[in-house]
Structure 1
Amino acid sequence: MFRFDKSLFFGIFVLVLSGPAISNAQAGEVWTRHHPRRAEVLGRAHHLDHRIHQEVIEGELSPARAAALHQQVRQVVGTQNWEARHQGGILNGYITEGQQHQLNLRENAISQEVGQ
């Protein structure tokens, strides 16, 4: 016969009740990943990577210099991700205007090096 197991029943009960909370958390996470300030910084980083690659193809940048510039771009992206994660609260996931400004300054400096 079937034996009633309290731990199994409790586990299923918790899983059923936490389903909506998990889906709300995931929805918030998707929104924060596409926050306008984050999207701008990440879009500029992607564009910089593309420009660096093009400069190497055209012979304007050495592969070693391109690797150093790509590393700088990755550092900007990493900083942006870290700041978004540590901005406070579980699902905030955004960067402030001041943080965006600082990241843009770093991206501008990299952009000027690519354009030389």
Structure 2
Amino acid sequence: MTQVTQSGLDVKTEYLYNLLARIKQRPGMYLGKCSITRMRMLLDGYGMARSELGLPRTKQQCEFDKFQDWIQERFKITSSHGWDSIILFHSADERDALDNFFNLFEKFQNGESPLPS
């Protein structure tokens, strides 16, 4: 069986962070408009599609799951609001929230403490 690859990555295993990088470069192309809500819907759809195809969760997906806790700790939120809602609440609008998502996600990926210094 031939494995489908995109940009040298095996899409059956690790692809999520590559996708996020491409969305960051051209959000309108992937999301229709710059919107954190649309980003959340796309990522939910990505996970659902992988599940429907019987593909196992990847290391990147499992790591991204920890972003929720990181965001909750950063903004001192204990409610069940999703990372997207929390970021949107602390942003001017959907576009600003999407920009803030990418900034926060970069800090998360770099292993920064969720608490601002």
Which has the larger share of helix? Answer: 1
Do the two structures share a fold, i.e. TM-score over 0.5?
Answer: no
Q: TM-score, with normalisation over the residues of structure 1?
A: 0.33
Higher relative contact order (CA 8 A, sep 6+): 1
- Which of these two proteins has the greater Rg computed from alpha carbons? 1
